[in-house]
Structure 1
Amino acid sequence: MTRRHITTALAALTGATVLFFGLNFLLNPGGAAPGFGIDPWPQGNAGGYYVVKGFRDLALGGTVFLLLGLGQRRVLGWVILIDAIVPLGDALAVVTHGGSVATALGVHVSAALIVLLSAVLLLTETAAAPAAVTVAE
């Protein structure tokens, strides 16, 4: 397996993970919320946060797959690098709103590190060599 394959798999995993989180918050907010690390979760109208988080994650994951599908690997690297802000912000939200430091580090900071690794691999990847053309005489 080449580095390019590993990088592609890591980028796809990054996109699939946030798509899963987004769908989980939209379709199963009561089940998804406890894993985030803040307790108790918003009730009543404040529960609209689930929709915000769900659609935010769908947009992030969709962007990853769009750029990956278009072959825009360097641009994808920059986008994923910027997107690493999201799990870091989530970690900050957890520790400043009654969640545990262990959850902030174990869930959100570890996710940010994987996202950063994916970005670094994409940004340092060399362009694929063009296929050799043979000319029949």
Structure 2
Amino acid sequence: MIQIGYVLSGLIAAAIMFLGARFWWAPGAASAAFGIADSPPLSTGFTAWLSVKGTRDIASGLFVILLMANGSPRLLGEFMLLASLIAFGDMATVLRSHGSRALAFGMHGLTGLVIVATGVCLIVGAK
């Protein structure tokens, strides 16, 4: 179970860092793919806010890698459980903005569930 948890953690870290970088390199495409309804057109200010989001995503992925390198499956698992709140919060934000329900549940909600499952694998495997 621990191996599965570490593999999933690595994939999640890579994905979130890629998505964060996308907010820097292609902010319009990244913003549209997020699912929030009526996002404003790109401007200097909006692009700056998207860069802030991208930076936080990259840092979140690096936190996962740091915890993976630490070698404590339980701590990594507990972190992943807490980190799932980011994905579930994104889901709620998309739904609250009357954005795409398919993206809210299919991307953000499913991601949250995968992160929870990853955390559970690590915690159960560490016992």
Structure 1 consecutive aligned stretches of length 4 or more whose deviation exceeds 6 Å: none
Larger proportion of helix: 2
Task: Give the alignment's TM-score, normalised by structure 1.
Answer: 0.84
Which residue in the other structure is 1:121 paired with? 121
| Greater relative CO (CA pairs within 8 A, separation 6+) | 2
Q: How does 1:1-137 map to 2 (within 5 A)?
A: 3-42=1-40, 43-44=42-43, 45-126=45-126
Structure 1: runs of 5+ lacking an equivalent: 128-137
Aligned residues: CA RMSD: 1.4
Task: Give the alignment's TM-score, normalised by structure 2.
Answer: 0.90
Structure 2: runs of 5+ lacking an equivalent: none
For residues 99 and 119 of structure 2, what CA distance do their matches in structure 1 show? Answer: 28
For residues 92 and 52 of structure 2, what CA distance do their matches in structure 1 show? Answer: 17
Larger radius of gyration: 1
**Structure 1 vs Structure 2: percent identity of aligned residues?**
33
For residues 73 and 22 of structure 1, what CA distance do their matches in structure 2 show? Answer: 25
SS in 2 for 1:125: helix
Count of paired positions? 125
